[in-house]
Structure 1
Amino acid sequence: MVGFNSTSFHPATFQLTGFPGQEAVYHWIAIPFVVLYVTAVVGNCLVLCIVWADRRLHQPMYLFLCMLSVNDLGMALSTLPTVLGTFLFHFTDIAFNSCLAQMFFIHLFSHIDSGILVAMAFDRFVAICNPLRYGTILTHPRIVRIGLAVVIKGTSTIIPFPFLIKRLPICKSNVLSHAYCLHSDMIRLACADLTVNNVYGLFTIVFTFGLDSLFIIFSYIKILKTVLNIASHEQRLTALNTCISHICAVLLFFVPITSLSVIHRFGKNVPHVVQILMSYVYLFVPPVLNPVIYSVKTKEIRKGIFRLFSRDIM
C-alpha cells in the first residue's frame, strides 16, 4: 500500500523505475552509468582546474566554459544518487519532497545550461564581429553579471514548478517512468485539471529554450555574414574554427531535448524504452561530451592538459 498525506493527497514516496523487466541485470546496466558519471565529473573538474591554474586562460571564452562545466557537474550530481541507487542497490523509493527537490534542480540546471550557451554565443559574436572591442565589452565584472543573470532567470522560471505540483492530488499511482524525477512525469500521476501546469510548462519551454535557440541562431547568422566578408580563406577558416566547439555543445543540448519533447507530445506509438533512452541521452550526453569536445577542439585546453599530466609525471 502507498502511504498518502490525508490533507493534500500526496504519496509519502514515489517509486522510481529503471528499465522495466530488466531488474535482474541492473548491476550490468549500472556499469555504463558509472562510466558516464566518472567521465563527466573528471572531465569537467579537469577543465576547471586547467583554467583556474593558467591565468592566460582567464578570458571570456574560458570563463564561460567554466560556467558550463560547473553547471554540467550540477546536472550530473543531481541525478547521481537516484540513478545509481536504482541500478546498483535497487533503491527505488524516494520521498515526495526529495523528489520535488531533485526535479527542481534537474530543470534548473537544464535552463541554466541553455542560458550559458546563449552567453557563449554572444562571446563568439563579439569576438568575430567586433574583435577590437572584445576586451572592453566582455570585462570580468560584466561576465559575472551575465552569469548571475542566467542563474536568476533560470531560478525564477523554475521556482513555481514544485508549488504547482504540491497543489495537485497525486492519486493515480506513485510509480514514475524514470530513475529520477521530472515535472512532466510527476503531473501525469495527478487526478486533477492540469491546465495550469501544462500552460506554464509550455511557457517555460518557449521562454527559455525557444528564445535562447533563436538568439543563438541570430548570432551565428551575423557571425557567418561577417566571416564571409573576410577576404582571406585561411582567416575565414580560423574564425569559424573558434566556433566549432560551441556549435557542438549547442547541438548536444538542443537536439536531444527537442527530440524528447517531440516524442512526449506526438510519439504516442514510440516504444517506451526509446523515450527512456532519449531522456538519459538528454541528461547524460552533454555533461560527458562537452569537456571532451572542448579538450579536443581547443588548443589552449589541450596544452593545459599536457602541462598538467607532464608535471604529474615529472
Structure 2
Amino acid sequence: MDRQAKIYVAGHRGMVGSAIVRRLLDGGYDNIVTRTHEELDLANQQAVTAFLGKETPDFIFMAAAKVGGIHANNTFRADFLYTNLLIEANITNAAWQAGVHRMLFLGSSCIYPRDCPQPIREDYLLTGPLEQTNEPYAIAKIAGIKLCENYNRQHGTRYVSAMPTNLYGPNDNYDLNNSHVLPALIRKAHEAKVRGDREMVVWGSGSPMREFLYVDDMADASVFLMESGVAEGLYNIGTGTDVTIRELAETVMKVVGFDGDIVFDQTKPDGTPRKLLNVDRMKKLGWQASTPLIEGIAKAYADFQNRPAG
C-alpha cells in the first residue's frame, strides 16, 4: 500500500477497527477515512453506495459488524444475521461500483463446523454443521467470505478474507450481558476483588478450549495482508495455541489479583468444545502473532480500569 493511499476503515470505533486505525497511523498511513454510525448507517444501501461513490478509497478494511458473546448471539439471532448480511453486502457491492479493487473482510472463526478436526484449516469451511448458539452470525460471515470470493471471480476485484480467532484488548466490550468470555472474566474478577468475594462464577464446565489473540496483533496481520499484495482467499489469524476456559480464568485472576475460588455454572452452555486455528498460511507469508496471553490480558485489564464505571 502506498503511504498516501486513501483508506476507509469501516467500524473504526470498535475494538478491531480502532486497532487497525492505530496500526495504520503507526505505519505512516494518514489518509484514513472514517464515519460514525450517526454519520453513515452501513445497513442503508443507498447511503453506503453514495458514500463510497464520493470518497472512492483505494483500500477498505471491513471491520464493522454486530458482535456479541454466546448469550447475545443465541438471543438476538435474527438481528445478528440480518444486520451483518446488510453491512457486508452493502459495502462489498458499493465498493465494486466505486471501483475499489482492494478490500479486507474481517470474519470470525465461528464460520467453521462445530466438530471439525483441530487445528482448523481454511479448507474446512462448509464441511459440517455449525455451532447452534452462534449459527446466524456464522452464516452471515460465511456469506461475506463468499461475496468477496465471487466478486473477485465475476468482477476481477481483489477482496481478501481474514478469519481471526477470539480477540481481546483495548476498546473491548465488558458488558456481562453481551460480552465475550475474556472481557467478561476480567470484569467478574475485578468486581469480585473489589467486593472482597471468595468465589467467582464462570459459565459452563471450564473444559472447552479456546485460542485468544490480542487485537493489535490482529490489526498488524490485517495491514500485513494488504501490504503483501495478497489478491484473494481466506486466511486464519491466530496464535496457534489454546487454553481451557479454566486456565484462562486462572490467568485472568492472577493478572487482576483476585485469589478466590472458581465456581463453574454448568447450567450455562459451553459452546464449541475446541476451536484452534491452523495459522500455517499466514506463517508462510511471513507473519505470526507476537503478544503472549498474560501480557495481552494485563494490557486489556489496564484498559478496563481506565474506562468509566458502569
Q: Do the structures match in fold with TM over 0.5?
A: no
Higher relative contact order (CA 8 A, sep 6+): 1
Determine which structure has more spread, i.e. the larger CA radius of gyration.
Answer: 1
The TM-score with structure 2 as length reference comes to 0.27
More helix by share: 1
- TM-score of the aligned structures, taking structure 1 as reference length: 0.26
